[in-house]
């Protein structure tokens, strides 16, 4: 991600599906501030799919995440509810997350966040969307486009590009979000 103030956030992740309903992923998170690139955090994430896709009116899952911030030895433990609903070619997603943060340099605190997405399945390679984010720092909203490119048997590349704008946000006024994911 590239924010309007020149800060860049990079996430490198690797994941593995442990079963049809359980997925584990690890991330290295780095920042680039004024040409100074450094590892900032380590993250371990577990997603558990509670319902089969299309089994009920909405698809349900839960997320568990453990994060360690390197620079100030801060820890964060999150859990959240993931919901996705389809209406023909439209898909709506909502993520409700609760995070507990603790460490020597911060006051222990409980935080919440909300992420919403509405996207239109124009084609497998192109899905326009709009995203909304809300947390203790404020709200942000913006357009996103995404898609999947099939490469070979059971292999694909998922891509996303979006421009997210802060609404009375303590953070940047705008953020360019780019994601490239290779699945094999």
For the segment 136-167, what is each residue's pLDDT rounded down to a tens digit?
A: 888 999 999 999 999 988 899 999 999 999 98
Q: What is the DSSP string of 15-64?
A: EEE-SSSEEEEEEEEEEEETTEEEEEEEEEEEEEE-S-TTSSSSEEEEEE
Domain ranges of the chain: 2-183
pLDDT digits (tens, 9 = 90+) for 75-103: 999 999 999 999 999 999 999 999 999 99
pTM value is 0.89
Which residues is 87 bridged to in the sheet? 90
Distance CA 74, CA 40 (A): 11
Distance CA 113, CA 173 (A): 18
pLDDT, position 140 = 94
Could you tell me which residue, 107 or 50, shows the higher pLDDT?
50
Which residues is 101 bridged to in the sheet? 76, 109
CATH fold of the domain at 2-183: Porin (2.40.160)
pLDDT digits (tens, 9 = 90+) for 18-75: 999 999 999 999 998 777 888 999 999 999 999 998 899 999 999 999 999 998 899 9
pLDDT, position 6 = 67
Give the other-Cβ count within 10 Å of 154's Cβ.
8
Could you tell me which residue, 36 or 118, shows the higher pLDDT?
118
Q: Find all residues with CB under 8 Å of 152, minimum gap 6, and list them.
A: none
Q: What is the DSSP string of 132-170?
A: EEEETTEEEEEEEEEEEEEEETTEEEEEEEEEEEEES-S
Q: How confident is the model at residue 2 (pLDDT cuts 50, 70, 90)?
A: low
Which of 131, 143, 141, 139 has its CA nearest to residue 112? 139
Which of 22, 39, 19 has its CA nearest to residue 31? 39
pLDDT, position 157 = 95
Mean pLDDT rounded to a whole number for the chain: 92
pLDDT, position 42 = 97
Distance CA 149, CA 158 (A): 6
């Amino acid at each position: 991600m590239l924010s309007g103030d020149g800060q860049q956030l990079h996430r490198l992740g690797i994941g593995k599906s442990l079963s049809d309903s359980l997925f584990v992923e690890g991330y290295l998170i780095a920042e680039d501030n004024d040409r100074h690139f450094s590892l900032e955090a380590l993250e371990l994430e577990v997603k558990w799919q509670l319902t089969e896709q299309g089994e009920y009116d909405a698809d349900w899952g839960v997320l568990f995440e453990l994060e360690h911030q390197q620079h100030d030895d801060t820890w964060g433990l999150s859990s959240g509810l993931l919901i996705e609903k389809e209406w023909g070619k439209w898909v709506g997603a909502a993520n409700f997350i609760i995070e507990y943060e603790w460490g020597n340099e911060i006051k222990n605190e409980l935080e919440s966040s909300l992420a919403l997405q509405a996207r239109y399945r124009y084609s497998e390679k192109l899905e326009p969307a709009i995203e909304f984010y809300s947390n203790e720092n404020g709200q942000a909203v913006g357009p996103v486009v995404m898609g999947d490119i099939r490469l070979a048997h059971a292999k694909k590349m998922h891509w996303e590009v979006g421009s997210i704008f802060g609404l009375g946000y303590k953070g940047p006024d705008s953020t360019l979000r780019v994601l490239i994911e290779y699945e094999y």
